Amino acid sequence: MITINENYLKLQDSYLFSTIAKKVEEFSKNNLDKKIIKLGIGDVTMPIAPAVIDAIHTAANEMMHKETFRGYGPEQGYAFLREKIAECDYKKRGIDIQVDEIFVSDGAKCDTGNIGEIFGTDNVVAITDPVYPVYLDTNIMAGRAGEYNDKEEQYENIVYLPATAENNFVPELPNKKVDMIYLCLPNNPTGTVLTKDQLAKWVEYAKVNKAIILFDSAYEVFISEENVPHSIYEIEGAKEVAIEFRSLSKTAGFTGVRCAYTVVPKELKAYTKEGKEVEVNKLWNRRQCTKFNGVPYITQRAAEAVYSEEGQKQIKENINYYMENARIILEGLNEAGFEVYGGKNAPYIWLKVPAGYTSWEFFDYLLEKANVVGTPGVGFGKCGEGYFRLTAFGSKENTIEAIERIKKLV
Ligand code: PLP
């Protein structure tokens, strides 16, 4: 008899985006004259930079000729791209990352989801709350989460680290020993960041406790403030305790093209039950070589072009466009008297819903009265209740109009 991985049965159904879609569909059916503005989804809207498109064309043409055709590539990524990453994302910031510490992939979602495979299932996992759901769900699948407690709305074996206005979105260090810590900075959904000193405390915790930090910096390119680390490796000693995930999805509009990378430093060690040190880089390399056949050559050439002078200029224009939207949202909501967070180093604005509303009630209210769609904070975790996420990925015109409508409500 074929049996299943019963951990999958422990997953809570995710109704967040399907419920939003259903509510929006229902509303628009009954209000055909209303223009709905969607500031809910976390997908980019600006087209790919021309320099990147040129590289895609060139690479596609190479496939046409016997001399330049490419078949299977290296599972870890082509040297031309890994070298560019090492140079532009690290060396330029004074960080020494070797080419063979970089693993090119088709997404930070896959990498943050798959990384758990190389670690024991008895490790204790800490996640911030609210959180990008992949970290939690993949650990439930792996059997690290234990049973779901309906009353607590939490899994028994997960250590939740609240990040709310009360602690200024700086989660406290765990009050029990944990082994795997997921940090997403700049944060989705709150748009908040940690300073170097604040992040250094986590690195220190991981060192003392022989834990690992899984550092998701998919939104690094949006950082505008000084003293916000662009990479966890800016913190001394972090190479011994952290894996870093980066993505071109939001950086360069690659959500459909698909390219990301993961850095696994060679200094990083994990342990056998007997306490023997093992190089994590070797394990991840083995895992990728066995289960992954690399990112398409054409995509990697596209990614390489992101790092060209032209590419950088063009992607920065898009980032500036989104961050101008973020500024409009942030300032507009501030003027309207909302408590607002994020939006300075991330394309997400996290607002406190008015007193008396749950985050879903505020969703309904905003949809009905302003015809604006956002994302209820509770969809990202229990501590997201009472908050609401707006994204800066819409058009400038729609963003301005949405904020004007919200201002009129108060
Ligand atoms: N990490 C975070 C925090 C995200 O918000 C997202 C996408 O929304 C991802 C990773 C996924 O990135 P990718 O498109 O590279 O899979």
Question: If you search the block for the tokens 């060679």, which residue do you land on?
Answer: 266
Please tell me the predicted confidence (pLDDT) of residue 410: 77
180 strand-pairing partners = 125, 212
Rounded to the nearest whole angstrom, what is the distance from the C-alpha of residue 268 to the centroid of ligand 1? 23
Rounded to the nearest whole angstrom, what is the distance from the C-alpha of residue 20 to the centroid of ligand 1? 20
Question: If you search the block for the tokens 């748009």, which residue do you land on?
Answer: 191
Q: Is the CB of 260 under 6 A from ligand 1?
A: yes
Sign of the alpha-carbon torsion through 165, 169, 172, 176: positive
Report the SS3 class of residue 387: strand
Per-residue CA distances from 340 to 152, 350, 356 (Å):
27, 6, 17
Rounded to the nearest whole angstrom, what is the distance from the C-alpha of residue 108 to the centroid of ligand 1? 5
Q: Beta 180-184 vs 158-162: how paired, if at all?
A: unpaired
Q: Is the CB of 108 under 6 A from ligand 1?
A: yes
Q: Are 101 and 263 in contact (CB under 8 A)?
A: yes
pLDDT per residue rounded down to tens, the chain (410 residues)? 999 999 999 999 887 888 999 999 999 999 999 999 999 988 999 999 999 999 999 999 999 999 999 999 999 999 999 999 999 999 999 999 999 999 999 999 999 999 999 999 999 999 999 999 999 999 999 999 999 999 999 999 999 999 999 999 999 999 999 999 999 999 999 999 999 999 999 999 999 999 999 999 999 999 999 999 999 999 999 999 999 999 999 999 999 999 999 999 999 999 999 999 999 999 999 999 999 999 999 999 999 999 999 999 999 999 999 999 999 999 999 999 999 999 999 999 999 999 999 999 999 999 999 999 999 999 999 999 999 999 999 999 999 999 999 999 97
Distance CA 71, CA 339 (A): 53
Q: Is the CB of 216 under 6 A from ligand 1?
A: yes
Q: Are 78 and 186 in contact (CB under 8 A)?
A: no
CA 249 to ligand 1: nearest atom: 14
User: To 5 degrees, how large is the angle CA 394–CA 397–CA 403?
Assistant: 80
CA 110 to ligand 1: nearest atom: 16
**CA-wise closest residue to 362 among 52, 6, 20, 51:** 20
Q: Are 229 and 93 in contact (CB under 8 A)?
A: no
Distance CA 313, CA 141 (A): 41
**CA-wise closest residue to 402 among 355, 351, 346:** 351
User: In whole angstroms, what separates CA 404 from the centre of its chain?
Assistant: 29
Burial label for 187, CB within 10 Å (0-12, 13-18, 19+), is buried
Distance CA 130, CA 219 (A): 16
Distance CA 229, CA 33 (A): 46
Please tell me the predicted confidence (pLDDT) of residue 15: 78
Distance CA 63, CA 80 (A): 17
Q: Is the CB of 346 under 6 A from ligand 1?
A: no
DSSP state of 145: S
Q: Are 112 and 135 in contact (CB under 8 A)?
A: yes
Q: For the full predicted model, state whether its pTM sits above 0.95.
A: yes
The token duo for 385 is 């209740």
Per-residue CA distances from 376 to 338, 341, 392 (Å):
15, 15, 16
372 strand-pairing partners = 37
Report the SS3 class of residue 140: helix
Rounded to the nearest whole angstrom, what is the distance from the C-alpha of residue 55 to the centroid of ligand 1? 24
Please tell me the predicted confidence (pLDDT) of residue 13: 84
